Amino acid sequence: MKINNNFLIKMRLFCVILIGGIKMHAEVIAVGTEMLLGEITDTNSQVISEGLADLGINVFYHNLVGDNESRMAEVIRLAASRSDLVVISGGLGPTPDDLTKQVVARYLGRDLIVDEKAMTKIKDFFARRERDMTPNNKVQAMYIDGAVSLQNEVGLAVGNYYHDEQGTDFLLLPGLPHEMKSMFETKAKPLLAQQYKGQQVLNSRLLRFFGIGESNLVTKLSDLIEKQKNPTIAPYAKENEVTLRLTASGSSDVDDQELLDELEAKIQKRVGQYLYGHGENNSLPSVVVNKLRKRGLTLSASESLTGGSFQAAITAIPGASNVFPGGFVTYAAEQKEQLLHIDPKLIEQYGVVSEETAGAMAEQTRQIIKTDYAVSFTGAAGPDPLEGQSAGTVWIGLAGKDMPTRAKLYHFPYDRQRVRSSAVMTGFGLLNDVLG
Amino acid sequence: MKINNNFLIKMRLFCVILIGGIKMHAEVIAVGTEMLLGEITDTNSQVISEGLADLGINVFYHNLVGDNESRMAEVIRLAASRSDLVVISGGLGPTPDDLTKQVVARYLGRDLIVDEKAMTKIKDFFARRERDMTPNNKVQAMYIDGAVSLQNEVGLAVGNYYHDEQGTDFLLLPGLPHEMKSMFETKAKPLLAQQYKGQQVLNSRLLRFFGIGESNLVTKLSDLIEKQKNPTIAPYAKENEVTLRLTASGSSDVDDQELLDELEAKIQKRVGQYLYGHGENNSLPSVVVNKLRKRGLTLSASESLTGGSFQAAITAIPGASNVFPGGFVTYAAEQKEQLLHIDPKLIEQYGVVSEETAGAMAEQTRQIIKTDYAVSFTGAAGPDPLEGQSAGTVWIGLAGKDMPTRAKLYHFPYDRQRVRSSAVMTGFGLLNDVLG
């Protein structure tokens, strides 16, 4: 499968190879018949692979097998024969076809023993709900003798980490994505880091960029990426943004933060103008909404081609009501005139997809809703052209107190949905630049 | 991994077992290093599994391997040793690490030969762009001697279907999801149906339901599902809707359509009030927009908790401009008063989250924008309550010509995002009911 160009893939492989201390080979297994039937997509294996790559652990294979004892045993035997670490998600739940722990225990010739802390939690859970606990439910609190039991902070089934100096290590995680993710991040990754990275402490920092493509970003940082050892740099391209994950491995958290600060400063110098935030939960809309909120500023909008998606993105963020009182969806030209009181002559003269209309939309919206800023969107989302303007042509207007109203022209060479989402993110990008 | 209850899984397995003629065991392989690094999720294997399930072909394993010749060969050998059909996506592209065809050809002891039609297409492609064609690009037009070359209607690399009466069959598909999907649906599935279903012709029909949960739907149809042979019934739960895929296997298309009509009539009788449409591309918003368009009717909206997402869903559909002139996002109470001219006393008396406010919002919106219908949304999206109303409480208003304005109360027991998306879909559901 070719999604990115080869250079990027090589850069990434290079990161994974450089980061490693001891050279581990890991393998990922997902368990669940409903995925073999194509009912749902296995997303766990991707999340696990990304986390293992952060730790410098190579992944050579993914496998997916149903809730079938003999086929599961066969896949586990094969994985153990060719990998140093086998990470399995799924099959830890309370139903009779949840068999992962049992199958791995049998492969290892070990018993399952009870984690009393987890058992108490399960008993409490059923007592509070006044429901009877079936024997199957107890299995959720059991773990393989000799393994570390991993507490499940968002569910009932414990995970397992089994280390064998001579043989293969096993990490067993729940199948529900949010349980898996929570246990992997908070319980398993620190253990893996400790086991495979010696006494080193691992710390990551996610940098988020908007307005620059992945190839361009990687090119501007190519010498840093080629020279990288500690911290490492892993670029990821997402729709409408690029992220860099920096991972430092030092003798303490303080050491790591110093290493990360130093590298971030170098990156800032070269591409700082595109860096808008840090961390998984800080999307560009939430960064903008939080900046506005902290400064007591307000925002409104009027949307034509984006049809409400910009305002939907603002209001998706809890607490948006402090910042955003409301706005307009002025899809038809007459509504730009009726709701925003734009002079019909202006639209007639310049057209709806124009600098003048975008500017007037933003200006009028700000006046009517009485906010500090207002953003406007007008353009041709496609598939058809609009007023002779090709699909993907978008004007974004921005009005604000103490600044002249402006409008910028964009051409997004994508399909309808992506033209709209790119326009929305670009609107947030413009606001973020103005807010500084 | 347990997402649905066991009953549903068993029903589904039951469907897959019943549908089959010859009992095939298939295995799916995805190829691509970037997926092992966790950069992207493999979605192809899910799509392929779903399609194979439709054909009554059991899938026992998924595998994912990088662009590495020896590991790829090992995975292919193993798959061929335990499965009747091996479906591989990825590694058909023009770069040196695209090796799938070469590795399978070597396993089979066959040469690669040129598909002249595909080669002409590639040459034209480069000639039109005035770019030089590298030798690697030619490999995209090559296929395994003895296989059927599958034309790629949305890309350049051909697929391969290799059938061996005595041994294992191979289906090779491109890795890019849209190329894979197009080739699988239009080229590969008919071949597989012909090969494994004898002279039978296979036809599927997708029924889409809103307003009923999967367990409830399956329970109401349990005898039909248990008795099913031809057509088969496969239920799938998605966010905010449930679908049933009916698949008939008869001696002709006409036969199949008769079988499907007969079964659909039975389903209609029991749960027809929830059935809103047919086919992959007919989402509830597009069904509603198309009904309005065909009847020359128009729609507007005012949104509080949904913050523009309802209008964004309307305008996501090409041609929405015939139906939707515009609307309001009245997030703050004052904007409900200012933009919609709702009497402040009404809001003061009943609150913003009330039948009265929802009704007034819909009514005023319809008056101002002058449309046949108007929908309004007001409620508490969460995480916090609003005016003492718990998160998930939503009033949806509907005003229309020749009907009294109405508002309905809902409680969506979900998180903020899902409360909003459920409210939006429910708004479309209400409109669909009114439009009949």
Tokens of A266: 């170098």
CB B67 within 8 A of CB B8: no
Lowest-pLDDT range of A241-245, A375-379, B139-143: A241-245
Interatomic CA distance for residues B300 and B121, integer angstroms: 47
**The predicted structure's pLDDT at residue A172:** 98
Query: pLDDT digits over A82-109, tens only?
Result: 999 999 999 998 877 889 999 999 999 9
pLDDT of A15 strictly over 70: no
Q: For the range B257-266, what are the long-range contacts, defined as Cβ-Cβ under 8 Å and sequence gap of 24 or more?
A: B257/B203, B259/B230, B259/B231, B260/B203, B260/B205, B260/B231, B263/B224, B263/B231, B263/B233, B264/B205, B264/B207, B266/B224
Q: Which residues in chain B have Cβ-Cβ distances shorter than 8 Å to A308?
A: 303, 307-312, 315, 327, 329
DSSP B118-173: HHHHHHHHHHHHT-PPPHHHHHTTEEETTSEEEP-TTSS--EEEE--SSS-EEEEE
Lowest-pLDDT range of A36-50, A217-231, A387-401, A405-419: A217-231
Whose CA is closest to A275, among A50, A398, A436, A51? A436
Amino acid at B350: Y
The partner residue sitting opposite A329, judged by closest CB among B46, B326, B383, is: B326
Interatomic CA distance for residues B100 and B107, integer angstroms: 11
Element at B76 (helix H, strand E): helix B69-82
Whose CA is closest to A310, among A427, A414, A149? A427
Lowest-pLDDT range of A33-42, A145-154, B80-89, B186-195: A33-42
User: How far, in Å, are B150, B161, B356 from residue B115 at the CA level?
Assistant: 10, 13, 68
**The predicted structure's pLDDT at residue A33:** 87
Q: Which residues in chain B have Cβ-Cβ distances shorter than 8 Å to A312?
A: 306-309, 312, 420
Interatomic CA distance for residues B130 and B122, integer angstroms: 12
CB contact under 8 Å between A95 and B383, yes or no, is no
Whose CA is closest to B38, among A222, A235, A263, A275? A235
Query: pLDDT digits over B294-338, tens only?
Result: 999 999 999 999 999 999 999 999 989 999 999 999 999 999 999
Please indicate whether residue A38 or residue A133 has the higher confidence score (pLDDT).
A38
**The predicted structure's pLDDT at residue A116:** 96
**The predicted structure's pLDDT at residue B12:** 47
**The predicted structure's pLDDT at residue A14:** 46
**The predicted structure's pLDDT at residue B14:** 46
Query: pLDDT digits over B25-48, tens only?
Result: 999 999 998 899 888 899 999 999
pLDDT of A404 strictly over 80: yes
- Reduce the DSSP state of residue A403 to 3 states and report it: strand
The complex scores an ipTM of: 0.76
**The predicted structure's pLDDT at residue B239:** 75
Test the A interface: residue of B1, B35, B69, B99 with most A CBs within 10 Å:
B1
Interatomic CA distance for residues A367 and A373, integer angstroms: 10
Amino acid at A245: R
CB contact under 8 Å between B307 and A318, yes or no, is no
Which DSSP state fits A387? T
Please indicate whether residue A136 or residue B176 has the higher confidence score (pLDDT).
B176
Query: pLDDT digits over B368-383, tens only?
Result: 999 999 999 999 998 8
Test the B interface: residue of A37, A57, A87, A338 with most B CBs within 10 Å:
A37
Query: pLDDT digits over A188-240, tens only?
Result: 999 998 888 766 777 889 999 999 887 789 889 989 988 888 898 888 777 78
Rounded to 10 deg, the angle between the A6-19 and A44-54 helix axes is 60
CB B157 within 8 A of CB B174: yes
CB contact under 8 Å between B13 and A33, yes or no, is yes
Averaged pLDDT score across all residues of chain A:
90
Q: Which residues in chain B have Cβ-Cβ distances shorter than 8 Å to A46?
A: 35, 38, 40-42
Instruction: Kindly list the structural domains of chain B, giving each domain's residue range(s) and its CATH number in brackets, ordered by start.
Output: 22-196 (3.40.980.10), 201-278 (3.30.70.2860), 284-435 (3.90.950.20)
- The chain B residue lying nearest A336, using CA atoms, is B326
pLDDT exceeding 90 applies to what percent of chain B? 66
Closest-CA distance, B384 to chain A, in angstroms, reads 9
Whose CA is closest to B159, among B174, B146, B139, B137? B174
Rounded to 10 deg, the angle between the A416-435 and A284-294 helix axes is 30
**The predicted structure's pLDDT at residue B199:** 60
User: Measured in Å, how far apart are chain B's first and last C-alpha atoms?
Assistant: 40
Please indicate whether residue B171 or residue B253 has the higher confidence score (pLDDT).
B171
Rounded to 10 deg, the angle between the B333-340 and A355-369 helix axes is 120
**The predicted structure's pLDDT at residue B432:** 95
pLDDT of A25 strictly over 80: yes
